[in-house]
Every structure is written in structure tokens, then in C-alpha cells.
Chain A
Amino acid sequence: MPLTPVITEHWDAPDLYTIDGYRRFGGYRALQAALQQDPDAIIGTVKDSGLRGRGGAGFPTGMKWGFVPQNDGKAHYLVVNADESEPGACKDIPIMMANPHALVEGVIITSYAIRASHAFIYIRGEVPNAVRKVANAVRQAREAGLIGSNILGSGFDLEVVVHAGAGAYICGEETALLDSLEGYRGQPRLKPPFPAVAGLYASPTVINNVETIANIPYIIDRGVDWFRQFGTEKSPGFKVFAVSGHVNRPGIYEAPLGITMAELLDCAGGMRDGRPVKFWLPGGSSVPMLTAEHLDLPLTYEDMAAAGTMLGTGTPMLFDDTVSVVKAVTRWLEFYKHESCGKCTPCREGTYWITGMLERFEHGTGEPEMLETITSACLQIGGRSFCALGDAAATPYPAAMKFFRDEFIAATSTPVDETFDPVASYVFAGAAAR
């Protein structure tokens, strides 16, 4: 399957991030067309396109928009989730730095469709260069009359606020993001009510991922039939894949959904030094890992689910045979422990105890019966917390045990750094590695 750059097509144009550069390639044409349509028609187009959310869950975007009660007399809000923090996910930040106007145009069209007059772009604070690029794009769009009152004479008014977070993975969870945006600690809310009914300031709110919103101008401009040429029936469209790890050319690769990992890996120049893929994750640390035998599966929502994992953020991480899976899993659990917001006891306490046990394995002092204890703890967290962080924390270990149980057994007597020389997994060598 070929690569198909769409969102990334003109990233080598040095001024693409400016409004003039973006317009040179047809930018804001979709907005003009959208403002001449009924908002419901736009929601219908996005529903027909089959676009699914690119933030990880893959929920149908048009359906999400359709949940917002219309003509209810309430203020509606669009909130863009630009809090990209999932380990392995690194595609929204590049989109915002390289092609911020695609996001801004998508924000304006989406706000018009869901009848929102206020949109917020919540960007993680640890990436100021993405924040400033989007803020710059929003100002340019405002100066061009594309944000503000009576946009392009349509009577549609929109204000857009670029909001920087302050360091909390949990704020990528949509209801935690809303609490954070309201000025509170970022802790998830119980659902229902869902944000479409009671979101920001208890008003109907659509929350979409950056890449999802960046798809909208292309769908509106080029049409449903064009969009559905990409991907599969259940996973239509193209995807900004970010391939990382022990590959020769890590980076951004945009392709139709349905391309296989093997094909993407070929584009990325294969594994370094011709070493084998030991394990890989299709989209973030929150999805179960796969092995080399799964490289030929199509990267779609449905094929990944059938293989017992998820497409997630669509940002594959590949590790070669120099890496200790025990160490990798321990590090991910340390992350979930650090990022658990503390609201739900199973997640708060479970991530703490699992991490402590895993660290013993990393140091070669794990006890064999602990393996069952960790499994049990994972079962106690998954499905027993408000949000998906708990489920995610309960994911890496069972997946690793499925394929690499022997490595955990070995770590009951031998520190993993003795079995796997850490230096061998570095991407630099010799003097640089000191």
C-alpha cells in the first residue's frame, strides 16, 4: 500500500505554517464552502465520511457531533484535545508545528457545524513551540476575518482561545481536560452525563483530537467519496503514523488506514542493523504489545481489535531484541503511577503496588508468586476506575506476559541489566555513550 501524504503533503514548504503558505495550497477553501451549507449538512458529511477519532478510542466523529442537542438555546463549545502525552504518541505536536492552519480551519468548520461560538485548543504546556505556532495561526486567521464576528459575511461568530496546560497526562482524558480547563485539578468525571450533553461549564461540548479536526477541511473540500478511497469500510481515511524506536528512519509517515506494519516499517528503512522486531505497539503504551508475527496485519481499528490490541493513537513503537521487556513494562508502569490522578483507589493504589513489584523484577529480586499477584492487581484496576488511565495501566503487563513470560521468570534471579546490556539498546554508540 502506498504512502498518501494529505495533512503532511506540503510540510516541506517553509511557510506552510503561515496563512499565506496554507492558502497557497488551497487552505480555507473548505471553510468558504462550509459556511454556505447548513450546519446539519456538514455533520451529515462527516458522518458519511466515517471519520473516526484519531486520539485513541476511534469513536465515529460525526456521531459524536450528532449527540450535541441542537437548537437548545444553550451555549455550545468545541474543545480540541491537544494534550498529546501518551507514551509513543508524537503526531499531534508535529501537525501543530508544521500545519497549524489545518487545525484552525477545522476548528472553525467544526464550531460552525455544532453551533459553537467559542472554541478552546488545550495544548500541553510542555511544548511551547506547538502552543505558539497555533496561537500565531489563530491570530492570523482572526486578522483575515476567519475568526471573530460575522465570519466571511455568514453571520457566524466564533472566538478561539489557545490554552496551555501545565503537565498532567491525565488531562488528555476528555473529562479531566474539561475540569482542568475550568480551572480545577484535572480529574476525570463520572460519565454519564457525557460532554455532548454536559461538558465545559455543564454545556454541550464536543471534544476532538487534533488530527481528527485537521481531517475536517480535507473532507469538506474534497468530499466523502474522495475520503473513502482511503482505508477500509470500518476504518476510512488516512492516518498520520509516527514510527519510533529501533528503525532506521523514525519519523512521520502518512498512509491509508489498512497499511500493514511491515509496509510502514519498509518505508522507515527497516530495523537498525537488520535486527529482528522483538515487540511493537500499534498506538501508545496503553495498547497491548504485539510481536513480529503480527507485522503483516492491517493497521485498522478492526484488525487491531481482532488481534487483541488497539490501533490507539496510530503511532507504532518498535523495539528490537536488545530491549528487556521487563524493563520496558516497568518504565510504563512507573509512568502510570506518576500520572494517576489519585481519584480512584484501584488506580492510585494499584499502580503503586504493581510498580513496586515490577521494580523488584527489574533488579532481579522478583519472586515467582508475584507474577500472579501482579496479574491479580491488574484485574482489580481494569474496569474499576473512572477513566481509561486505570485500564491502560493494567494493559502492558498481561500483554508482555502473554509473549515473554520466560523473561519475567529469569528476572526472579538475574537483574535485567545483566541479561540485556542497556548500552546495546541505545541509538548512539562508542564515545557518545560514554
Chain B
Amino acid sequence: MAISEATRGELAELAARYPRPRSAVLPMLHLVQSVEGEVTTDGIHACAEILGITPAEVTAVSTFYTMYKRKPVGTHHIGVCINTMCGLLGGDAVYAALQERLGAGHDQPTADGMFWLERIECQAACTHAPVMTVDWEFMDDVTPASAIDVIDRLERGEVVQSTRGPAIRSFAATERSLAFPDDGLADEGSSVDDKMLAGLRVARERGQAAPAIPSGQEG
């Protein structure tokens, strides 16, 4: 659909954030996805007009990056890491279970348009394998059963808390956060869990610490 004047204003605001406006293409396309649910032709044209480049140039960028979709993603994006660590530690089973539960294949929406399922590559959370993402927020250490439970709760409209981050919102809301990352949610949910504290706890149990800070500099 047509890009609103308000959105055009925000796209221009993103372009003004950089010494050279074209640097804003990625965040601008995230913003397009947040209002359009996908990277639409209208969105591409709006970006091109604001940046003074051709729609073909914007399109070329958009097709390079896997987070940009050319079909409506729906309410929630569901990712399952199937790279070696997550996949072999159980991500393959999680993906298979979700595929069956959702009736969707890789990089496809569900029939009702509520979910989009994707086999994703390493999510930088191998310590928390197998990892699933909902609207790109972490759902760590999942099992087939817990992953399906997440889907059930989202379908029922219940609050689903990310394991390291805020409560799940929507694909569109996350895409907006990627364009404007100071989204006011930094204080929501804990981002530090037992696995991130594993070494610190072992060090304390064993009475281990870094060498003392040189004298006169203690805070």
C-alpha cells in the first residue's frame, strides 16, 4: 500500500542519521517492513525517492539480506536455528515439530497468515542450544514440546516472555525497533541468565578472581 507521509518523514529521519544518506538503506527497509509487513514495491520506491537512487538499487540491496521478505510475514516470525550446534543438539527435532504444528515450510507463512516459519543460521546463542526466535527475540533452550507451547500461547493471545529480553510483541514491532533501536524496552525482561553467569559463579565458588587492580585506582 501507499507509504504514508508520517512514514516518509521517519524514513527521511533515518537518512539524516548518517553522513551519507544511502547508509540508511538497511534501517529504512526495516521500517518499511514494520509498516508494510514485507518489503513492498511502494516501500522500495519511497526509499529510492528519499535517497535519490533508483528503485533497482534499493531492490538489489533488499534481495541480498535474508531478513527482508517479499511476502507478508504475518503477526509473528518464528525462527529455529538449524546450524550444526543447535540442529544436532535438537533444533532439527524442534523445526520438524513446528513444521508439523504450523503446516508451513521453510521461509513460508502459515495458511492463516499468523506465523512465518524459517530455518535460521547461527543466532549467536550456541551456549543456549537449541535456540528458537520469536520476532527475533531469544527463546533459548527449547524442546519440541516447549516450542509448540510457545505457538499455542501466541495463538491464544497470551503474554510470552523472551528468555533474554522483553515480552514478545510482533514482527512489525521488532522491525520498527531495528530502525529505531532506542525503543524504550531495554529495562523489560532480564537479559542475563544462568548460562551467562556460569563462569562468574564457578570463579566465586573456587575463590578465583582477576589480579587486583593497581593500588590507588579502586573505584
Contacts and interface: CB of A to CB of B under 8 A. Distances in A.
Interface in B113-141: 120-130, 133, 135-138
A331 B88 contact: yes
B192 A98 contact: yes
Interface stretch (A177-185, A345-353, A386-394): A177-185
Q: What are the nearest 6 A-B pairs in CB distance?
A: A251-B198, A26-B219, A253-B199, A136-B186, A183-B22, A166-B65
Contact of B214 (A17, A223, A285): A223
A328 B214 contact: no
Interface of B: 17-20, 22-27, 29-30, 51, 60-61, 64-68, 79, 82-85, 87-90, 92-93, 97, 120-130, 133, 135-138, 143-146, 162, 164-166, 174, 177-179, 181-183, 185-186, 190-192, 194-200, 202-203, 206, 208-211, 213-214, 217-219
Given A133-B191, A427-B89, A127 B136 contact: yes
Contacts of B22: 182-184
B162 to A, nearest CB: 7
Contacts of B68: 166-167
Interface stretch (A40-48, A56-64, A237-245, A292-300): A237-245
Contacts, number: 300
B149 to A, nearest CB: 11
Interface in A211-225: 221-223, 225
**Chain A interface bracket (under 10, 10 to 19, 20 to 34, 35 or more):** 35 or more
Nearest to B145: A432
Given A14-B190, A162-B181, A129 B133 contact: no
Most buried by A among B84, B137, B192: B84
A201 B21 CA distance: 12
Nearest to A98: B192
Contact of B88 (A17, A92, A315, A422): A422
A434 B93 contact: yes
A164 B26 contact: yes
B124 A92 contact: yes
17 contacts: A4-B211, A5-B209, A24-B219, A26-B218, A85-B122, A89-B126, A97-B164, A126-B133, A132-B177, A136-B182, A168-B66, A230-B211, A249-B202, A317-B85, A327-B88, A422-B92, A432-B145
